[in-house]
Amino acid sequence: MLQRLLPQSLWGRLTLVMVIGVLLTQLAGNFIWATQRRAEALAEVATASQHVGKSAAGAVRFFLSLPPNYRPLILQQFREMGGTRFFANIIDAPVDVEPITGQELADAALAHLRVSMKDALPNTPDIRMSFTWLERLPARRDVMLTDLPEAWTQQVRLARPAPVLVIQAELEPGNWLYLATLMPNPYFLETGNPLTRDRLLLQALSLAAVLLLSILVVRWITRPLAALSEAAAAFGRGENPPALPETGSREFINTARAFDAMRQRIQRYIDDREKLFVSISHDLRTPIMRLKLRTELLDDEAMQAEFHDDLDELDMMVKGALQTVKDSDIHENPTEVRLDALLGRMVRDAQLAGHEVTFNASGLTVTAKPLALKRAIGNLLNNALHYGQQVELAVREKGGNIEIVVRDHGPGVPEEALAELCEPYVRLEHGRSQNAGGMGLGLGIARGIVQAHGGELALANAPGGGFMATISLPGGAFNPEHAV
């Protein structure tokens, strides 16, 4: 499953590795940064909580030192003159506050505040504190803090919402001191969040820049490899592509030079082999002819006939070797071929010769060497006409490939002999009896031509009887206006 999910190209795999590497690096960096930031935020909250706790304890001690009837006057002065960080009020009972929950920094701040105020006010029987939002904060049971004059509550109002600390301390039964204030850093809850909008935007921009550069670099590195792959595939099809450009990395330049040198050596070897093979085959015909003439001088007619048969067989083998070289090495450029036109001419020629051949037009074209493809199909068609009186030709598109099917209604082939049919000079018993002049080279030549086109030749017994040869060539449909 992993192999199927991975991109098939080197460019895709390198890009995927770069993307995963960058993402993992950012995740690790975020984790380390978040851990450090959390520790720093907890330390800052502890210091700020101790400072606010001392200030709140001082306010509670101040109101405890005042006579109850003086407290409203002092509160009025605070509201008119300012000078304190707290909004203060005297209430007869504590009010219910909707606390902020699920915030680690808020819980840590409250824990430090309780410790600080308990140490500073050991004799105060009941102290309640919590963080809440301003719009949910009551000043007393029937009045919300936001309903009070802004001059009274300016200590707890900001441009954007921030958590408000509410401390309610019991001065004496029936009298509670109500304090509301902001922390020194009003937005301290946000310091514990490592994934802020600004940081996410910065990381997204850096990730996009790294990925863009990585993709461009990987593309630049792999493009010469694609050119090398195309040149190797073209050379395998018998084409003569131009030399690879010596650009790119040093490793690719060395590879391109080695590939060009190998291609030249292989081409020289093929040319030399063809010349040698043709020369030897041609030169053998002269001594064969001399031997035939000398057999005429033999007095023993039986021995003369045996010599003639052996020399005829040798002459047939030489001719077959020449035919194999000529048929399997047709020098021409690939082009787009209309299969309907090509097969139609072959079918008409067979029908004029008295054979029963059927073919349905398909409208498909294929990129191939026209004469070589015609020779391969012709070998299969002639083979089918020899062993089956009725032949059917069909062309179809399957899995992105073009398939050409030649089926006859002859005796078929034993299953154990299918693997050897394309070997040179291999002929089955019924083939010798029906086609005495054959040499067993047609299927081998056809397979060589098809493989030179990057395709495959499949031989099998047809369902319902007969024999079926299927040529599968890579490619698909093309514009018929550009076909030959």
Q: What is the 3-state secondary structure (H, E, C) of 70-101?
A: CHHHHHHHHHHHCCCCCEEEEECCCCCCCCCC
* CA 242/CA 257 separation, integer angstroms: 12
* CA 195/CA 191 separation, integer angstroms: 10
pLDDT tens, residue by residue, 310-329 = 777 777 666 666 665 555 55
pLDDT of 165 above 80? yes
Mean pLDDT of the chain: 80
* Mean pLDDT to the nearest integer, 124-130: 85
pLDDT of 471 above 90? yes
Q: Supply the pLDDT for residue 331.
A: 57
CA distances from 72 to 65, 151, 171, 175, 202 (A): 14, 17, 14, 12, 53
* Mean pLDDT to the nearest integer, 451-460: 86
More confident residue, 298 or 358: 358
pLDDT tens, residue by residue, 25-43 = 888 888 888 888 888 888 9
Token digits for 239?
Answer: 């084409």
Domain layout of the chain by residue ranges: 2-192, 250-326, 332-482
* Mean pLDDT to the nearest integer, 363-392: 86
pLDDT tens, residue by residue, 104-115 = 889 999 999 999
Token digits for 40?
Answer: 């720093």
* CA 82/CA 156 separation, integer angstroms: 13
Q: What is the CATH number of domain 250-326?
A: 1.10.287
pLDDT of 484 above 50? no
pLDDT tens, residue by residue, 188-234 = 887 766 666 777 788 788 878 877 887 787 777 777 777 887 888 77
Which pTM was predicted? 0.46
Using 50, 70 and 90 to split pLDDT, how confident is the model at 432? Answer: very low
* CA 245/CA 234 separation, integer angstroms: 16
Q: What is the CATH number of domain 332-482?
A: 3.30.565.10
pLDDT of 425 above 60? no
Q: Supply the pLDDT for residue 1.
A: 65
Q: Supply the pLDDT for residue 441.
A: 66
Q: Supply the pLDDT for residue 480.
A: 38
pLDDT of 238 above 90? no
More confident residue, 51 or 480: 51
